[in-house]
Every structure is written in structure tokens, then in C-alpha cells.
Structure 1
Amino acid sequence: MAKYQTLLYYCYSPIENAEQFATEHLEFCKSLGLVGRIIVADEGLNGTVSGTPAACQTYMEAVHADKRFSKTDFKVDDVDEPSFIKMHCRYKSEIVHSGLRNPTVINPNKETGKHLEPKDFMEMKDREDVVILDVRSNYEHAVGRFKNAVTLDIENFREFPEKVKKLEQYKDKKILTYCTGGIKCEKASALLLKEGFKDVYQLHGGIIKYGKEVDGKDFDGQCYVFDNRVTVGVNKVNPTIVSTCRNCGKVTSKMINCANPECNEHFTQCDECGWEMDGCCSTACMEHPRKRPYDGTGYYVKVPQPVNEEKISKRKHKTFPPKETIDLLDHQQ
């Protein structure tokens, strides 16, 4: 039996008093000894949590016991160690940041693409009248994607709406959308339908479920995940590596964050260049005075910074978060 498990899940279901729910849910997770990241919004839940099999089972049973979340589909991975350091449960405006906050515009509870189970997705994806659309960000599809998938040049899912016009040439095709766990496709497919695409589908449970149920056939490379594993393998049939080292061009699936916290860019880097560049993407970042020590993983635990009242005052006048405060929770699944 596995020592630990990691659960990936989401559920679009209205939550009253969502901020209070987030506070109470955090305490519940801590009481079970879970670690992870959960977003709570008025529209639902989005989370990845990790703990002992017993704790994970208790958590899943508790979520399913709540009528609002009874249909939540958990993707369960056995892991050697917890996939997070701490437990976070935060209230946000959306459970995946799309910039489409008005439920009268996009509401996955009312209209979204037709859900395809992995075996049906696998059977449809190679047809001539089908286009496979990856709705994830550049750093995600750079490390792994379906064969022949259409990818978009986006740094964050909130850029997806402005890219829809570039897909006009596919309006007479069946559009099969996919992402890591399914959550982005709920909104992406809903937006495509609103923009006049007639035949829109989504991979139910995303890449993770596809790997578990049909062994990941024809998914090239690794699947990016939002925990300290960074990437996981899903293809047991015809696996390949598609990503290359930023610095030397060598084929590698290893993805890290730049050791310079002011940069913090997500990029692929082989082990050799990792040690040579001290975990940095460039020589300029290697020389930065705040560069973090590199231990070969390229994964860094966020350390609280001293309060800077002057900086806080300046930020009150900004309409967007500074780069160092952007949370991966905004990109999850």
C-alpha cells in the first residue's frame, strides 16, 4: 500500500459564503494532516491535496457527503512523499483564472462542451474532422502535449479568450479540448460555444485521467502538475520526450523555476546545465544578489518576506499583482 496519495479535483457548484467556507475548509484539511492548495470561489472548488491514504479517503468521503460536491471526480496518485509542504485554502474570484467572472457570460454549470471519457477521446482524436485543442499555457504544453494538437501562445489561461479568434479556421470541425485535470476546458469549451463553434468536446478528467484509464497513448512528453513533482509521466504505450533544455538544446523533461526569485521563470533545463548555471536561466540571473541556493530540484518553498510599508502603499495603486506575488493557484489544472 502506498505511503501517501495526492488528490487532484475540481467541482463547479455554487457556494454561499465562500470566504467563510474557505476558512473552515482549511481547518478541516489541517485536522486530517493534509497538505496542498485549494481555491474556493463562489463558483466552486479547485484543489490538489496530499496525505496518507486514510486521510485522503476521509477527505474524499467528506467532500462527496456534501450535496454540492457529490459528483466531484477525484484523480488519485500514489506518491512516495507528500506533494506539498504546507496546506493552503484560499478564496478567489474564480477557481481557475479566466477573466470571465460574469456567470451570465460563461457558466459551466449551464453550458459547456460535451464530456468525453478517455476511451472515447482516444477513438475520436485522429479523425479527419477533428481538431485537438490544448487550452493550457506555454510552459505546460512545452513539456508535453497530444500528437498533432493545436497549441496557443499564452502565458496564462486568462489570455485564452483573446486567442479564440485565431481558431476561426476550425469552426467546421469537431473541437476536442483538453487540459491537465479538466477544469480549464469547462470554461474554454463554454466560451467556444458562445463564440459560435458548434461541435465542442472536452476530455473528462483531463490528461491525468487519460493516463490512468487508457495508459496515455499518443500523449508526447510529460504532464505538468501544480505541486512539487512538477511533471509526471502519463504515457505507458508509446512514450517520448518533446521538451529540450533552454540552455544547450539537449532533450530533457526536467522543468524548474529560475533560481533568481525576481525572474522565477518556469523552463526546461537538463541536469548538466542546471549545475553549470546554478539553476538559472541566464548568466544575468546567476549574478543576481537574491539568487536562491540550487539543490538540483529547481523547486523553492515560498519564504515570507518582511513587511515593507512603502511597497505596500505603492501596490495599493496598482491594478495587477506584482510578478513575485502571482500564485500558481491561478493556473491550476
Structure 2
Amino acid sequence: MNKPYSILLYYCYTPIEDPEAFREQHHLLCLELNLLGRIIISKEGLNGTVSGLKEDCDKYMAAMHADPRFAKIDFKVDESDKHAFAKLHVRTKAEIVHSGLLHIDPNVRTGKHLAPKEFKEMKDREDVVIVDMRSDYEYTVGRFKNAVTLDIENFREFPEKVEELKEKFRDKKILTYCTGGIKCEKASAFLLEQGFEDVYQLHGGIIKYGKEAGGEDFEGKCYVFDNRVAVDVNSVNPKVISTCHVCGTPDDRMVNCANPVCNLHVAICEKCGWELDGACSTACKEHPEKRPYDGTGYYQKELNGYNPLKGFNRKKKSDVKV
């Protein structure tokens, strides 16, 4: 039975001359289509995850593909019973994924894109090393078998780790991967710039690999940036690799500590979650600022001054054509 909602994961490196004007226009389009989610816009392109009714998401994809700037977008589509977000945020930033590598244009040079089946065929060769380009809390809950992981909390720390990769793997073919492919665009280009000769990237990331190659040898779950938190991708040889932060039993239920001062993002089993009322420790359970726990361990982010209606006094929703 088909589910009524779709979740779209996508990005596109393409020049946007006036990001703020485009942000306003694009936000109106999303409102017209009743979409929720997070979209980042910059001069170098856009990056987003949105959810909505299937027919509304289909209209959104058609509208984007009709614009020559975004005709090449490869949407990764999941079905859902409901929205994956509670709000809509469309923001402008310096980069569509924070790397600090502002000089790199993936449209000029980047690693060779591998389709999921090609990645599957190459990943176990002796002259190949797989490198996970994601943050520590992401690969802790799931990663490719035998993948090299980097001790980073944010992708912007990646350039600092390249010397370590040089020392160990300069003569290897490097296969990079991430959730949907966006981090690998700049990461693989930077590796080429730093002297690596054979650099590849998993096109469409883990999500597309799960859909087209069954997710084989991806152990654990794939961390995603919506209300689902982590999703299954391996239908061939699935395996749980994370453990409960509290009791140590195998578990892949990712939560944020209910104490906002701590906000530790780790796996905590349902039993320990209820016993500690959503906290990661007794101290956090007793913290005066502890948030109410509803069993999910997921808390909406604060707006932090973001005004979704900024500039809307000049336009109306009815002005937007889909």
C-alpha cells in the first residue's frame, strides 16, 4: 500500500545570483505546496530536505526541474505516513553545507561519481579504501563495513584530517560517501587538490545505495536530518552496531538528552529512556531545565531569530505559480 506523503532529499551546486531574493520566492513556493522542512540557499546552490503530500512533492520536483538551474537535481524520495518535519525553514547561508572550502566549485572538478552498483563492485577491492565523510554521531549509528571514519563533530573539520589520510592511504583509490552525496562533492574535490589521484564518490549517497543496491554491507541505520532521525537502508545483511549509552545493550534508537544544557545525541534504548525520563544520566534527569520527555527523544530546534515571513509584505502566496 502506497503511503500518502513523500520525503525529498536533494541538493544542487548551481550559481544563484541573488540568494535572498530567491529565498523569498522559494519559500512562497513551498508554502503554496504545503511543504515542511529545511532548505539552505547560497550563491553556490541549494540543499534541502522537505516533506509533503505525494502530489505536492511531485509538483515541487516538476517546478524545480523546469528551472534550467536545477534541471540536474537528483531527488531521493522516501514514502511516509506523515510529515517528517513540524516547520518550514528556508534560509540563506554562505555555503549549502558548511565546509569552509569556499574556493571549490564541484561543477569544475570533483571525484568521479559512482552509481550504487559501481560502488558495490569496487568497495571490497584491496587497492580501495572507503572513507565516511559524516560526523561522529552519524557514523556511530551506521556505516559501511570496513569504512574509515574521521574524528569530526562537523564537516567543516574535514580539511584538518586530510594529512592523516595522506599518511595512510595516499596510494589507494579513495571511495567517499555520505548521506545524500552533498558532502562528497567538495570533499572529493579537496582530496584531488591535496594530491590524491584516484578519488570517487557514491552518487546519491547512502540513501540511494539502499534503494538501488539493497544497502548491502551498510551496517546499522542511516542518520537523517528530520523527525525520523535514523532509517533502515540494508535489506540484504542488516546489523545493529550501536549500543545504548546507558546500559550498553545493542540498540540504534537515537535521541537527544532531555537536558538542553547537555543535549547529548546518542543511542539510548527505550527502557533506559523511560527510566531516565529522556535524560542520558541521573544528573541530567535531575537538571532543573530538563525538557518534558514524550518517548521520542526528539526536540524541535529554536528559531534563533529566524523570521520565515521576512520580506513577504511585498508578495502574496497567490502570486506564486506552480
- With the shorter chain as reference, the TM-score category is over 0.9
Residues 303 and 183 (structure 1 numbering): CA distance in 2 closer, same or farther, change over 3 Å?
closer
Letter in 1 for 2:121: E
Match of 2:232 in 1: 233
Q: Deviations over 1:21-62 (max 9, x none)?
A: 011101110110000000001100100000001000000000
CA RMSD of aligned residues (A): 1.1
Identity of aligned residues (%): 67
Per-residue deviation at 1:289? 1.3
Matches within 5 A, 1:163-178: 163-168=161-166, 169-178=168-177
Structure 2: how far apart are the matches of 1:293 and 1:53?
33
Whether 2:8 is the aligned partner of 1:26: answer no
Letter in 2 for 1:155: E
Whether 2:317 is the aligned partner of 1:291: answer no
Between stretches 263-272 and 278-287, larger displacement belongs to 278-287
Structure 2: how far apart are the matches of 1:16 and 1:67?
14
Residues 303 and 112 (structure 1 numbering): CA distance in 2 closer, same or farther, change over 3 Å?
closer
Per-residue deviation at 1:302? 3.0
Match of 1:68 in 2: 69
Whether 2:9 is the aligned partner of 1:8: answer yes
Per-residue deviation at 1:303? 4.8
- After TM superposition, the score normalised by the length of structure 2 is 0.92
Structure 1: how far apart are the matches of 2:283 and 2:45?
42
Matches within 5 A, 1:91-240: 91-101=92-102, 103=103, 106-168=104-166, 169-240=168-239
Q: Deviations over 1:149-200 (max 9, x none)?
A: 0001100000000011110120111000000000000011011001100000
Letter in 1 for 2:41: V
Per-residue deviation at 1:94? 0.3
Structure 2: how far apart are the matches of 1:304 and 1:66?
30
* Structure 1 gap ranges (5+): 307-333
Letter in 2 for 1:57: D
Per-residue deviation at 1:73? 0.1
Structure 2: how far apart are the matches of 1:232 and 1:118?
18
Structure 2: how far apart are the matches of 1:50 and 1:305?
22
Q: Deviations over 1:112-152 (max 9, x none)?
A: 00000000000000000000000100000000000000001
Q: Deviations over 1:259-280 (max 9, x none)?
A: 1112212111001110111111
* Structure 2 gap ranges (5+): 306-322
